[in-house]
Every structure is written in structure tokens, then in C-alpha cells.
Amino acid sequence: MSTSPRLLLPLALTLGSLLSACNATVASYRDRDQSEAMESVIRAQEAAWNRGDLDEFLGEGYLHSPALTFFSGGEVSRGYDTVLDHYRKSYKAGGKEMGHLSFTDVETLIFGSDIGIVRGHWRLDFRSQPEVGGLFTLVMQRTSAGWRIVHDHTSVANTEPGNRSTTSAQSRSR
């Protein structure tokens, strides 16, 4: 018994469509898993910060490399050690209060199997001074240790009354 080529074409198209849909579903699950893994890095950072553990905040989130870059307040910091020193001077020196950190409106975008961004709002609440917050964009790379921040660009919202500007040249406060 032979099968007509006319009957095979619809069957092949249907099978191709089903396989394509399955592949898209697998990709969307993979992207969702990677997005969740990327966001879990900043949630772990948030928890470390709120425990006052600056070393874990950096160590669990940032790539420990001289290639790490950090842009904020019109300044550029390069390298893990430089970024760590910045945080220590800004938040630990002289018994400074680190505040309570929260990330909101978090979005992740996957650009490839090993690269993506996380962006959103950050806010620090203090007991003894006004809160501060702004926007962040983190470029993340998947490494053997998991997702790590390779570039951080953070802005501070301008809190001056009557000023509608969304950023200021204040130094980074996240």
C-alpha cells in the first residue's frame, strides 16, 4: 500500500509545527529558569546586605575579577577590589549604618545562554537619615560559580523637592 505525497505534506507540516512548539516551550522554560537564577543572585545580595554582611553581598553577586565595572554618580570603578573598597568606605567606615535594602520592579532579560541583564529599582531605608533609592541595571554572566554581575550601572533618584530629574550626580548609595 502506497501513501500519496499529498497526504504526507499535511502530516509533515503538522509534525513540524508540533516539534517547533515543543522546542519553543523548552526554550521558554530554560529562559524562565535562568531568569529565576539571575534574580536569586540579587535576592541573596539583598539578604546579605540586610544582615550587614558586605563581603557576602559582593562575593555572592559580583564577578571577582579586575574586569568588573561599576558606574554611578558619573564615576567609574574597575575591578572587584576597587568596588569592595568603595562599599566599605561608603557603608562600613566609621560605624556607618548600612540601612535596609530592597529591590523592586525587578525584570530580567536573557540575551544568550550565558549573558543577560537584571534591572529594577533599589531603595535603602535608614533609621537615622532619609531613605535613598534609584534605578539599577546589572549585566550578568553565567560562570562556573553561577550567575555573576560583570557590570553594574546604578543611579540615585534626585530627592530635592520640586526637581523632576530621575537621577543625580550623587555617589552610589546601593
Q: What number does CATH give the domain 5-156? A: 3.10.450.50
Among candidate residues 166, 110, 111, the one with its CA nearest the CA of residue 136:
166
For residues 53 and 131, is the Cβ–Cβ distance under 8 A? no
pLDDT digits (tens, 9 = 90+) for 84-125: 999 898 888 888 889 999 999 999 999 998 999 999 999 999
Question: Starting from the edge strand earliest in sequence, which strands make up the sheet with 100-112, in order?
Answer: 75-78, 69-72, 146-156, 132-143, 115-125, 100-112
Calculate ∠ Cα 53-57-62, nearest 5°.
155
Q: What residues does each domain of the chain span?
A: 5-156
Q: Could you tell me what percent of the chain has a pLDDT over 70?
A: 74
pLDDT digits (tens, 9 = 90+) for 15-27: 566 555 544 444 4
pLDDT digits (tens, 9 = 90+) for 141-156: 999 999 999 999 999 9
Total-model pTM? 0.75
